[in-house]
């Protein structure tokens, strides 16, 4: 199942007693969420809506795969990212959860990725020496 619309009818979810979904989405819809060095190759979204007295609670999870570059050697590498999100809806209206997914995806991107634990920093140091002409 592939889904590019992120709208949910809270009234219908209340009537149905909840809703659970899991789907892949179009990576092009999320191109603004990551830093320029990281490009998404897959995004999967899980949502679970459940009733709590008069409100509807949403818990969701974003799982993504992306290509980025090692912050030490600059080599291209693949990373797995994952982040959860949640929200409460009181009103019986149609809601769009795309901003929640965007935010979770942004938060899931690591500040620095390293291709392997012992990746040498030498290349970076050489680069810095040239750049700042340190002797």
Site size toward Zn ion, by CB under 5 A: 5
Instruction: Rank residues 43 and 115 by Cβ distance to Zn ion and give the closer one.
Output: 115
Q: Interface with Zn ion by CB under 5 A: which range of 16-24, 30-38, 47-55, 110-118?
A: 110-118
The interface with Zn ion within residues 14-43 (CB under 5 A) comprises none
At closest approach, how far in Å is the CB of 7 from Zn ion? 41
Nearest to 20 by CA among 43, 58, 47, 57: 47
Taking CB under 5 A as the rule, which mask of x and - marks residues 49-88 in contact with Zn ion?
---------------------x-xx---------------
The three-state secondary structure class of 87 is strand
How long is the chain? Answer: 135
Instruction: Rank residues 25 and 113 by Cβ distance to Zn ion and give the closer one.
Output: 113
At closest approach, how far in Å is the CB of 118 from Zn ion? 9
Q: Which residue has the tokens 């603004």?
A: 32
Is 119 an interacting residue with respect to Zn ion (CB under 5 A)? yes
Rounded distance, CA 88 to CA 118, Å?
44
At closest approach, how far in Å is the CB of 35 from Zn ion? 17
**Residues in a beta bridge with 29:** none
- Alpha-helix residue ranges (DSSP H) falling in 1-97: 10-16
Residues 6+ apart with CB under 8 A from 93: 10, 11
> In the complex, which residues of this chain contact Zn ion (CB under 5 A)?
70, 72-73, 115, 119
């Amino acid at each position: 199942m592939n889904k590019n619309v992120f709208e949910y009818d809270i009234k219908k979810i209340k009537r149905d007693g909840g809703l659970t979904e899991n789907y892949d989405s179009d990576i092009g819809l999320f191109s603004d969420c990551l830093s320029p060095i990281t490009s998404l190759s897959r995004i999967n979204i899980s949502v679970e809506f459940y009733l709590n007295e008069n409100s509807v609670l949403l818990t969701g999870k974003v799982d993504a795969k992306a290509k980025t570059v090692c912050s030490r050697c600059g080599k291209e590498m693949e990373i797995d990212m994952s982040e959860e999100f949640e929200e409460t809806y009181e009103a019986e209206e149609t809601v769009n959860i795309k901003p929640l997914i965007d935010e979770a995806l942004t938060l899931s991107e690591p500040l620095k990725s390293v291709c392997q634990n012992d990746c040498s920093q030498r290349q970076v140091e050489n680069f810095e020496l040239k750049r700042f002409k340190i002797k």
